[in-house]
């Protein structure tokens, strides 16, 4: 969370050899409210390679190359099926991103050939555009989840009353995407907002569907702005309530999917230990060894 500037200062008082003046009273200046509740649990994927999903496939391939029995074959197939169908949940869900349809900002959107630059990869500015489009969609989807405040959610994307303004965005590029590809973009709240806070931080994950890993990550600082008074405003109660519930769901997704990742990696390791990584293991060259 970006720290807010504290304006409180202690007023100094002076003394002399002849007289001692009374100290001036301190003038208390309230600190602006902040989002204090942040996640403390470390994602299971934090120390893994960005290519850990493809590494798992390669590790299973090595087990198969050394020869495995029918039971091991079924286990290998089960693991491959899980990472093929649930890779977004394993990768993004273990970090706390909600991958369900009602929370996706962009889902499998095609990368357009014209989005590439003269270097032959997607231009850097496009990643911020993906993040912006996904953020708008992510916000508007709350309107369908919270019909009692549908009008207020929709107005957040207009200059009518309370709106959202992007104060800053920081983008880390992980690898250059190329056409053809598709992107899925997910947002999550970094902290659980409290009453009175006037901004919030969003983490953004831009996934390459072709590579099945992060192409870029962004951090967005969003300010709540009242267009009627031309001033910053505290998050309205309906946003606070929905964001707090969303943050709780993020924490649940992180715990559940991190457990899945750990269990999956344990299964892969057990398969290795029962195939090529055992004292009597011999590589199976198949029919090539017996022409």
**Strand bridging mode 213-226 / 231-232:** antiparallel
Q: Based on C-alpha coordinates, what's the Rg of the chain?
A: 26
Q: Is residue 141 one of the residues assigned to a domain?
A: yes
Question: Which pLDDT value is given to residue 287?
Answer: 53
Phi-psi domain of 196 (left: phi exceeds 0; alpha: psi -120 through 50; beta: other): left
Q: Note whether residue 13 is domain-resident.
A: no
With respect to residue 64, please indicate whether it lies within any of the assigned structural domains: yes
Could you list the residue range(s) of the whole structural domain that residue 228 is in?
Answer: 51-274
Quote the distance between the C-alpha of residue 283 and its chain's center.
41
CA–CA distance, 272 with 196 (Å, rounded to integer): 53
pLDDT beneath 70: ranges in the chain: 1-40, 281-291
Reported in sequence order, the residue ranges of 74-212 that DSSP labels E, i.e. its strands, are 104-110, 162-173, 182-189, 191-192, 199-208
DSSP reduced 3-state for 211? coil
Q: Is there a domain that residue 5 lies in?
A: no
Supply φ then ψ for residue 216, to 5 degrees: -160, 160
Q: How far apart are CA 274 and CA 287, in angstroms?
A: 23
Question: Cis ω on the peptide bond leading into residue 185 (within 30° of 0)?
Answer: no
The per-residue pLDDT for 7 is 36
Does residue 41 lie within any of the structural domains?
no
CATH number of the domain bearing residue 80: 3.10.129.10
Supply the pLDDT for residue 280. 76
pTM of the model: 0.82
Domain count of the chain? Answer: 1
2 in any annotated domain: no
Q: Is position 8 within any domain?
A: no
pLDDT single digits (tens) 98-151: 999 999 999 999 999 999 999 999 999 999 999 999 999 999 999 999 999 999
Type and span of the H or E element at 38: strand 37-38
Distance CA 135, CA 225 (A): 16
Has residue 87 been placed in a domain?
A: yes
pLDDT at 31: 42
């Amino acid at each position: 969370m970006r720290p807010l500037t504290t304006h409180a200062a202690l007023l100094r008082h002076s003394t002399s050899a002849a007289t001692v003046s009374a100290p001036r009273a301190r003038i208390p200046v309230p600190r602006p409210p902040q989002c204090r509740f942040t996640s403390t649990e470390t994602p299971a994927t934090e120390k893994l390679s960005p290519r850990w999903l493809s590494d798992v496939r390669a590790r299973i391939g090595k087990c198969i190359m050394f020869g495995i029995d029918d039971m091991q074959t079924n286990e290998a197939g089960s693991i491959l099926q899980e990472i093929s169908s649930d890779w977004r949940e394993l990768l993004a869900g273990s970090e706390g991103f909600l991958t369900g349809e009602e929370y996706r900002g962009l889902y499998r959107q095609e990368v357009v050939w014209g989005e590439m630059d003269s270097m032959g990869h997607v231009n850097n500015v496009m990643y911020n555009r993906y993040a912006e489009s996904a953020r708008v969609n992510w916000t508007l989807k709350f309107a369908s989840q919270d019909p009692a405040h549908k009008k207020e959610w929709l107005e957040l994307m207009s200059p009518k009353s309370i709106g959202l303004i992007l104060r800053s965005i920081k983008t880390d590029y992980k690898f250059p995407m190329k056409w053809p590809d598709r992107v899925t973009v997910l947002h999550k709240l970094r902290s659980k907002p409290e009453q009175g806070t006037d901004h919030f931080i969003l983490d953004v994950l831009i996934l390459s569907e072709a590579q099945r890993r992060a192409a870029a990550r962004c951090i967005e600082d969003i300010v709540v702005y009242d267009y009627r008074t031309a001033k910053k405003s505290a998050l309205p109660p309906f946003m606070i309530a929905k964001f707090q519930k969303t943050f709780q769901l993020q924490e649940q997704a992180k715990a559940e999917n991190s457990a899945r990742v750990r269990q999956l990696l344990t299964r892969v390791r057990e398969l290795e230990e029962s195939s090529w990584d055992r004292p009597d293991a011999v590589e199976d060259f198949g029919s090539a060894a017996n022409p």
